[in-house]
């Protein structure tokens, strides 16, 4: 005969007695801890840049200087994650403004950062002694623990999207940061030097990456070149029914991602393209670099225009349509999920 005390009150009393010892019954939580499919805690979201976001970004320039702010950024916070500074469960996004003559002072941290230039020209980001000039659409990386500062020697405001792995580094409680003693780090190499070494399908003969997923030694992936590749492939009609023409940014020395924790992509959807749906476990942040179209994200439909930013949560079906030739930049935590054996993707709508 079963003599167990199964009554709810008796069980609750038992849980209450063990609780002061920091002991919890798994069976009350198992369904939440091991759900049958992802239940993303972030929500889909679209930020309309020109009409809704840009005025606030520009206003930040009259509220605080880049120097005082250290980083004058408006965080794009997911509406389902209030107070978290997260754009997805694992990633951060913000829009950084730098005005002519300003410097955002030099620091370094464990977290990786990417920049995707939204508008304006003439600003630079300095990484490890080398300045890279920013142009709209360029993708620029700041590897972990590299000194970096930003400045604007041009004549117009420059805005870029910052993408960081802040929540990932926070998950591991593995973050460090320090300030450089001066606002700007010394320039030790001329602009374009790292691109000449690593950016032309060639490498310095003695170069060895530090580890298999080491950050790319190419700090800048200029839009003009990436765009040219997409354009050629689109003209050759190398179209995928789900993705259009989609390329990933790589570390040329390893073939792996440009960044250890964040995957980055650029894709072209030709005018009239109506992509089939996909879903994947890596929640993704998209930026419209050119064109306009529609993203169906779960049961939401977002009409996007240049500079708009939208979020696709994990395992949420996404399909992309383009009203004109459209270029999308995107980033996700895919390298982490691949390394941990977590990544899953599904192409839907086939047959
Ligand atoms: O440029 O170093 O948007 O450290 C957030 C944290 C930018 C940066 C952000 C950062 C940076």
- Kindly list the structural domains of the chain, giving each domain's residue range(s) and its CATH number in brackets, ordered by start: 45-347 (2.60.120.10)
109 Cα nearest atom in ligand 1 = 4
Structure tokens at 108: 């370094």
Indicate which residue's Cα is closest to atom 1 of ligand 1.
71
- Cβ–ligand 1 distance for 93 under 6 Å, the answer no
Q: Which of 60, 96, 161 to mutate to test the pocket of ligand 1 (most atoms within 8 A of CB)?
A: 96
Share of the chain above pLDDT 90, in %: 97
**In which order are the strands placed within the sheet that holds 139-142?**
73-75, 92-98, 158-164, 113-119, 139-142, 220-221
pLDDT of residue 229: 98
pLDDT of residue 238: 84
- Cβ–ligand 1 distance for 113 under 6 Å, the answer yes
pLDDT in tens, 144-179: 999 999 999 999 999 999 999 999 999 999 999 999
Let me know how long the chain is. Answer: 351
Quote the ligand 1 centre to 89 CA distance (angstroms).
Answer: 18
**Nearest one of 74, 197, 90, 99 to 154, comparing CA atoms:** 99
C-alpha pair distances (Å), 115 with each of 112, 118, 124? 10, 9, 11
Quote the ligand 1 centre to 286 CA distance (angstroms).
Answer: 19
How many Å from the N-terminal Cα to the C-terminal Cα in the chain?
55
Quote the ligand 1 centre to 31 CA distance (angstroms).
Answer: 37
Coil/strand/helix, residue 223: helix
- Cβ–ligand 1 distance for 71 under 6 Å, the answer yes
pLDDT of residue 2: 74
Q: Which of 57, 94, 166 to mutate to test the pocket of ligand 1 (most atoms within 8 A of CB)?
A: 94
pLDDT of residue 4: 81
Q: How is 176-222 classified by DSSP, letter by letter?
A: -EEE-SSSSPPP-B-TTHHHHHHSSS---TT---SSTTPPPS--EE-
- Cβ–ligand 1 distance for 134 under 6 Å, the answer no
162 Cα nearest atom in ligand 1 = 3
- Cβ–ligand 1 distance for 117 under 6 Å, the answer no
On the question of pLDDT at 351 being above 70, the answer is no
pLDDT of residue 331: 99
pLDDT of residue 1: 64
Indicate which residue's Cα is closest to atom 6 of ligand 1.
71
Residue pair 79/45 in contact (Cβ under 8 Å)? The answer is yes
Q: What are phi and psi of 190, to 5 degrees?
A: -70, 155
Q: How confident is the model at residue 3 (pLDDT cuts 50, 70, 90)?
A: confident
- Cβ–ligand 1 distance for 96 under 6 Å, the answer yes
Quote the ligand 1 centre to 162 CA distance (angstroms).
Answer: 7
Quote the ligand 1 centre to 71 CA distance (angstroms).
Answer: 6
Count the alpha carbons within 13 Å of 250 in the hemisphere toward its beta carbon.
Answer: 11
**Nearest one of 253, 152, 244 to 201, comparing CA atoms:** 253
Taking residues 58-87, what's their average pLDDT? Answer: 97
Tell me the whole-structure pTM to 2 decimals. 0.97
- Cβ–ligand 1 distance for 164 under 6 Å, the answer yes
Q: Where are the alpha helices (DSSP H) in the chain?
A: 8-18, 30-33, 54-60, 66-69, 166-171, 193-198, 223-235, 334-339
pLDDT in tens, 8-58: 999 999 999 999 999 999 999 999 999 999 999 999 999 999 999 999 999
Structure tokens at 327: 């270029």
Quote the ligand 1 centre to 90 CA distance (angstroms).
Answer: 16
- Cα 249-255-257 angle, rounded to 5 deg: 45
115 Cα nearest atom in ligand 1 = 1
R_g of the chain, CA atoms, integer Å: 23
On the question of pLDDT at 242 being above 80, the answer is yes
On the question of pLDDT at 349 being above 70, the answer is yes
Coil/strand/helix, residue 89: coil
- Cβ–ligand 1 distance for 97 under 6 Å, the answer no
Quote the ligand 1 centre to 108 CA distance (angstroms).
Answer: 9
């Amino acid at each position: 005969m079963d003599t167990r005390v199964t009554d709810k009150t008796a069980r609750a009393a038992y849980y209450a007695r063990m609780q002061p010892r920091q002991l919890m019954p798994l069976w009350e939580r198992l369904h939440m801890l091991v759900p049958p499919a992802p239940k993303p805690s972030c929500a889909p979201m679209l930020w309309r840049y020109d009409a809704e976001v840009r005025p606030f970004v520009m206003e930040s320039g009259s509220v605080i200087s880049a120097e005082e702010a250290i980083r004058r950024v408006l965080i794009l916070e997911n509406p389902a994650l209030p107070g978290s500074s997260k754009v997805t469960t694992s990633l951060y996004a913000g829009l950084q403004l730098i005005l002519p003559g300003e410097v955002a002072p030099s620091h370094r941290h464990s977290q990786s950062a990417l920049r995707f230039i939204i508008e304006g020209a003439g600003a630079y980001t300095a990484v490890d002694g080398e300045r890279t000039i920013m142009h709209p659409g360029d993708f620029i990386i700041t590897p972990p623990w590299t000194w970096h500062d930003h400045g604007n020697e041009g004549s117009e405001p420059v805005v870029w999207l910052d993408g960081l792995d802040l929540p990932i580094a926070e998950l591991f409680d593995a973050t460090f940061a320090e300030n450089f003693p001066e606002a700007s780090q010394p320039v030790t190499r001329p602009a374009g030097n790292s691109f000449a070494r690593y950016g032309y399908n060639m490498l310095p003969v003695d170069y060895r990456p530090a580890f298999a997923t080491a950050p790319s030694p190419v700090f800048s992936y200029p839009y003009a070149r990436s765009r040219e590749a997409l354009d050629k492939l689109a003209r050759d009609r190398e179209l995928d029914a789900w993705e259009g023409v989609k390329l990933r940014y790589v570390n040329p020395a390893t073939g792996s991602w440009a960044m250890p924790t964040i995957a980055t992509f650029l894709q072209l959807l030709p005018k009239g393209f109506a992509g089939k749906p996909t879903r994947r476990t890596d929640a993704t942040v998209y930026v419209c670099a050119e064109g306009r179209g529609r993203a169906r994200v779960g049961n939401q439909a977002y009409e996007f225009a240049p500079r708009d930013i939208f979020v696709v949560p994990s395992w949420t079906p996404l399909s992309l349509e383009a009203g004109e030739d459209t270029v999308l930049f995107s980033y996700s935590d895919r390298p982490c999920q691949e390394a941990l054996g977590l990544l899953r993707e599904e192409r839907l709508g086939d047959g």
